[in-house]
Amino acid sequence: MKIFIVGSGKLANAILKADLSFASCEVIKWEPLYQTLNERAILVHAGSGRELKECLAFCAGTKSVFIELSTGLETENLDPEFPLIICPNTSILILKTLRMIDLFGGSFEDYEISITESHQSTKKTEPGTAYNLANSLKVPHNKVVSIRDPQVQQDKIGIPLEFLNGHAYHKIVIRNCNDEVTIETKVLGHNSYANGVNAIIKTCLNHDLENKRYTVLDLIDRKIL
């Protein structure tokens, strides 16, 4: 089976350079010429959306698995005829934290909640992980504080200089009068994302997924990831 990596950005390149090895599978970069193939595959989409239409058409025609790593695209609301997995994040540790907050976030509805996120200054897409946290905690997206200033990231958050161009930071603060709970996550570089993609692909290879839209948290909930 072929495993196509779609995109040309930092995440797509990190996945292509990672040591992804699966029995009887070939990991290759997606090219438009592959649209004519008539075989089932796995597509990992980490692009801007420029190639999205052709990739969705390929998956619809071949019942291939589509793993969506990009955020803010039409796939998040798609009703597909093939397995589609929406991934706001692929760090397994972060995903399990997201699932925990998703399960219990409603318990904090009456408290004061703030969410802050930081990514490299080149990030132009919406902060999918932060919005996922906001949804679980019933915080409006426009209340999420986004930081893209490298100086602030280094001085205030503590992001090392070598990771200013590749990091993800999230901080949740829940307050009740003088009581305060802080949940903080920090991912430096792309290694954990590539490792997470590796685990998600293995799940797709080892389990028969239905032709419908999943979130990666569904796979964690089913204990297959």
- The pLDDT tens digits of the residues spanning 10-41 come to 889 999 998 888 989 999 999 999 999 999 99
pLDDT at site 145: 98
Q: According to the model, what pLDDT value does residue 19 have? A: 80
User: Over the stretch 208-224, which tens digit does the pLDDT of each residue have?
Assistant: 999 999 999 999 999 99
Q: What are phi and psi of 138, to 5 degrees?
A: 60, 45
64-79 pLDDT, tens digit per residue, is 999 999 988 999 999 9
* Mean pLDDT over the full length of the chain: 95
Q: Which of 35, 13, 27 is nearest to 205 (CA)?
A: 27
The region of weakest confidence among 3-12, 37-46, 171-180 is 3-12
Report the candidate in 11, 12, 10 with the shortest Cα–Cα distance to residue 31.
12
Q: Which domains are present in the chain?
A: 2-86+192-221 (3.40.50), 92-189 (3.30.360.10)
Give the pLDDT confidence score for residue 83 in this predicted structure. Answer: 99
Model pLDDT, residue 190 = 86
The pLDDT score that the predictor gives to residue 15 is: 93
Q: What angle do helix axes 191-206 and 92-104 make, rounded to 10 degrees?
A: 80
Tokens of 78: 């798609």
Residue 106, pLDDT score: 94
